[in-house]
Structure 1
Amino acid sequence: MSDVVTAAVVALNEKVAGGFTGTAKFVISGEGSLILDANGAREGDDDADVTLTADAETFQGILSGDVNPTAAFMTGKLTVDGDMGLAMQLGAFLS
């Protein structure tokens, strides 16, 4: 597992802490992917209700609060495939 994915798993588990009810996959270009569900975040490439894809720099910025997830989506730095309502719920956790 890459250091970026490992750090993302830790950060997501702190930010979401069991409050997420769907299944989301985060694909970090060139690094790997992780899954977030009711059990928390973990490395994985399972099917999910929504898939969010970004490069490592954008994803790290979103997790640190330096990059607004909605702005990243609007500028094409973050792509969303699947349940847009679930993506918006994630955006609230990550902002």
Structure 2
Amino acid sequence: MSFAQGNSMPRAGGICHAQLKGELEQLLCPTGEHIDEDENLFDYGLDSLQIMKFLQQWRGAGVSVKFEQLVLQPTLHGWRKVIDEASRHCETVA
């Protein structure tokens, strides 16, 4: 997983939204299907270990998100909102 490298917009705290979707689709949809932004990621087979790997990568990109936040909003749309909010908080504090 390498979120900070993409050039697509929009981006939050070094995490590109399009790249996030691509990473999730690669992980959860090996047959090439697309993730619906409002579908529960657990229904696609996401598990807690995979969430922890995402969190570790995001922290490396400077975005501090809690595990519970992602579990409570387990959709791509929900994750984008959580990431955007965390990024805004980081910018306000900095």
TM-score of the pair, normalised by structure 2: 0.28
Between Structure 1 and Structure 2, the one with more helix by share is: 2
Q: Which has the larger radius of gyration?
A: 2
TM-score of the pair, normalised by structure 1: 0.28
